[in-house]
Amino acid sequence: MLNKDSKILIISLTRRGSLDYAQEMCRIIAPYRPICVFSRWQNLDNGLEQHTFRTYTNILTFIIQSLMAFIRVPIFLIKQKRKHGELTVYCTVFHPWNLLFVLWANILKCRTIVTVHDFKTHAGERSRLIEAIQRVQMRLANKVVFLTNFVRRQALDWNESIRGKSILIAHPIYSGISINTLGHSRALRILALGRMHTYKGMELLLEATEDLDMDCLTIAGLGASRHAPLKGNIRIIDDWLSNDRIQELLLEHHVMVLPYLEASQSGVLALGIAAGMPMVVTRVGGLTEQVTPDAVLFSNPTTSDLKLQISRIRDDANIFNTLKSNIAGLRHDTDERIRLQVAELFQREQ
């Protein structure tokens, strides 16, 4: 059984991507007193025991530190095994070194859990190598955590044998996010947020808002300038956004739009829920599982429907206020559901 008597090692070596997700999972799993293993480049303090690994920042350091990881990972796990006896190695976000942790955990007869955020990498960040490494991890792990049934179905289409060891744990709602208190206005300030890869659909959003009566459209995140021109009432912030800057943007805008062309799930959607923002979300991938249909306006990934749904929020104060009210209840419900799902994970037989 996976239970509180087993010392849990939460492995999250990412420097940026999905780091907030990893921190939230540490918060939720905190009652089990896990040990958190982070990249040394992160300065995180969550009140739990922590260890760090020196990771990499470029190709050269990737080669050097990866070679070192072949030594450091087994030494670390052997020490933890001797100290705690029963171990569960829980990889919460993808990192190529997760494979080393899973391989050595199996050698040392430790339980292993891997989390699959994206079974297939998305347009603009496609990587067959990442997909291949992740599939090996899934074969080797005792449990495989999926954030949506959409991704779980993709994995089962590839390998039906993992069904018995798969479990669903929804994307957590981020804590510590201030609530957006802006009231309805026809002069909408619209926000699109995140790393702007092709699948994020910024061209679709620009077409939908080209002649829309609004105050401004802000597109913020790395790569924003590649997908959007700086003109008129379009505001471009092409940079890595700190948590403080993200918080400011969430509070300054009336509506957030996720015009994705494909998606597994979305950390940006979790941010919008946490901030209590009215949102327009395209009906693709696992996004429809992440939020109830009464808490956002879903749109088909077409210019006309996206424009229609944004216009509905702009023109109807009742819709705007209803979305705000419904999404407030979703925050608590999601957090409680995840705690129950985590409890199930640590109680199921291998």
Residues 22 and 12 sit within 8 Å (Cβ to Cβ): yes
pLDDT tens for 62-112 read 899 999 999 999 999 999 999 998 999 999 999 999 999 999 999 999 999
Output 331 or 276, whichever has higher pLDDT: 276
First to last CA, the chain: 7
Task: Measure the CA–CA gap between 38 and 266, rounded to whole angstroms.
Answer: 22
Check residue 349 and give its pLDDT: 42
Check residue 124 and give its pLDDT: 74
Lowest mean pLDDT among 12-16, 140-144, 186-190, 205-209: 12-16
Instruction: Decide if 152 is inside a domain.
Output: yes
Token code pair at residue 221: 């995140």
Q: Residues 201, 323: one domain?
A: yes
Instruction: Tell me the pLDDT band of 12, cut-offs 50, 70 and 90.
Output: very high
Instruction: Decide if 296 is inside a domain.
Output: yes
| Amino acid identity for residue 320 in this structure | F
- The domain boundary, picked from 169, 200, 233, lies at 169
Instruction: Decide if 318 is inside a domain.
Output: yes
| Amino acid identity for residue 191 in this structure | L
Angle at 179 between CA 115 and CA 184, to 5 degrees: 120
Instruction: Decide if 88 is inside a domain.
Output: yes
Q: Residues 22, 153: one domain?
A: yes
Lowest mean pLDDT among 82-96, 188-202, 283-297, 333-347: 333-347
Q: Residues 214, 291: one domain?
A: yes
Task: Measure the CA–CA gap between 180 and 125, rounded to whole angstroms.
Answer: 31
Instruction: Please report, for the domain that includes residue 37, its CATH number.
Output: 3.40.50.2000
Task: Measure the CA–CA gap between 47 and 29, rounded to whole angstroms.
Answer: 12
With 0-12 / 13-18 / 19 or more C-beta atoms within 10 angstroms meaning exposed / middle / buried, residue 65 is middle
Q: Residues 116, 226: one domain?
A: no
Instruction: Decide if 215 is inside a domain.
Output: yes
Q: Residues 236, 315: one domain?
A: yes
Output 240 or 311, whichever has higher pLDDT: 311
Check residue 17 and give its pLDDT: 65
Angle at 142 between CA 138 and CA 145, to 5 degrees: 60
Mean pLDDT along residues 230-257: 90
Check residue 246 and give its pLDDT: 93
Q: Residues 263, 234: one domain?
A: yes
Check residue 44 and give its pLDDT: 66
Q: Residues 17, 160: one domain?
A: yes
Q: Which domain holds residue 281?
A: 189-332
* pTM assigned to the model: 0.91
Q: Residues 151, 202: one domain?
A: no
Token code pair at residue 336: 């409680």
Whole-number mean pLDDT of the chain? Answer: 90
Instruction: Decide if 324 is inside a domain.
Output: yes
Three-class SS of residue 96? coil
Check residue 43 and give its pLDDT: 62
Q: How many domains does the chain have?
A: 2
Task: Output DSSP code: residue 209.
Answer: T
Task: Measure the CA–CA gap between 301 and 260, rounded to whole angstroms.
Answer: 7
Instruction: Tell me the pLDDT band of 225, cut-offs 50, 70 and 90.
Output: confident
Residue percentage of the chain with pLDDT more than 70:
95
Instruction: Give which of 46, 33, 51, 100 is closest to 73, Cα–Cα.
Output: 100
Q: Residues 126, 230: one domain?
A: no
Task: Output DSSP code: residue 185.
Answer: -
pLDDT tens for 246-299 read 999 999 999 999 999 999 999 999 999 999 999 999 999 999 999 999 999 999
Residues 8 and 29 sit within 8 Å (Cβ to Cβ): yes
Q: Residues 16, 98: one domain?
A: yes
Q: Residues 129, 247: one domain?
A: no
Instruction: Decide if 2 is inside a domain.
Output: no
DSSP states of 221-284 as a string? Answer: STTHHHH----TTEEEE-SPPPHHHHHHHHHH-SEEEE--SS-S--HHHHHHHHHT--EEEE--
- The domain boundary, picked from 136, 169, 202, lies at 169
Token code pair at residue 240: 């890595």
Q: Residues 29, 137: one domain?
A: yes
Residues 173 and 331 sit within 8 Å (Cβ to Cβ): yes
Residues 186 and 315 sit within 8 Å (Cβ to Cβ): yes
